[in-house]
Amino acid sequence: MNKPNDEQKFYTFLSTHNPIGPQLWEDIRAIIEVKKIKKKRYLTAEQFDMHFILDGMIIKRIENASEPYEEVVDFVSTNQLIYHIEKMDHSSFEADIDSTVILIRNSKLSKLLEKHPIFLHHLEHFFGEVLLRRSYRGKLINLTARERILKFKEDYPEAYKYCSVNDKSSFLGMTAAYYSSINI
């Protein structure tokens, strides 16, 4: 995909939630950076920067001091947002498949919001989605393993289809062997 098509995809998505005037769009275009992230590469950014996923799948992992691996806590897919707080929650973001993302630096976003306070309505939608996903795993606690997998398959179809058994089982709080033993 070339940059103008990526920008158009972003514009289309933004426009579905609230209208984007021509001047606001020009100012947004001036601050966004389109990036291609290869599979198994990490997204990096400064604290409070944002990545918008145009296409692909990014896995959020948290360092687990009691285990020798990183626990999968989220799957971030197309039209979702990452708000970078890695230094605060000891996390990392890894591309599970080749992905296209838009980076918006916090310093540039602050200036955009000063000029166009209406853009805050778009950000409220993004952050609402982020908070909704953060509470997702808590909703799985009282479900059986089979019910967790079925719910995950329904709510995260791309992750269910493309991500490794180890990552899916980590996210759902079970071993990979147990996950694989459940016939869905």
pLDDT of residue 125: 82
Q: Which is more confidently placed, 88 or 94?
A: 94
List, in order, residues 6 or more apart from 139 with CB less than 8 Å away: 151
pLDDT of residue 1: 41
**In order of start, what are the domains of the chain with their CATH numbers?**
3-134 (2.60.120.10), 139-184 (no CATH)
Containing 82, the helix (H) or strand (E) segment is strand 81-83
* Over residues 79-98, mean pLDDT: 89
Q: Classify 35 as helix, strand or coil.
A: strand
136 vs 64: CA distance, rounded Å: 19
pLDDT of residue 65: 62
Give pLDDT tens digits for 17-71.
788 999 999 999 999 999 999 999 999 999 999 999 999 999 999 887 666 667 8
pLDDT band at 3 (very low <50, low <70, confident <90, very high): low
Q: Which residue carries 């590469």 as its tokens?
A: 41
Give pLDDT tens digits for 98-144.
999 999 999 999 999 999 999 998 888 888 877 777 778 778 888 99
Query: How buried is residue 12: exposed, middle or buried, by Cβ count under 10 Å (0-12/13-18/19+)?
Result: exposed
Q: Which residue carries 């795993």 as its tokens?
A: 137
pLDDT of residue 67: 67
pLDDT of residue 66: 66
25 vs 22: CA distance, rounded Å: 5
Take residue 16 and report the two structure tokens written for it: 């579905």
pLDDT of residue 121: 86
pLDDT of residue 108: 96
Q: What is the pTM of this model?
A: 0.81
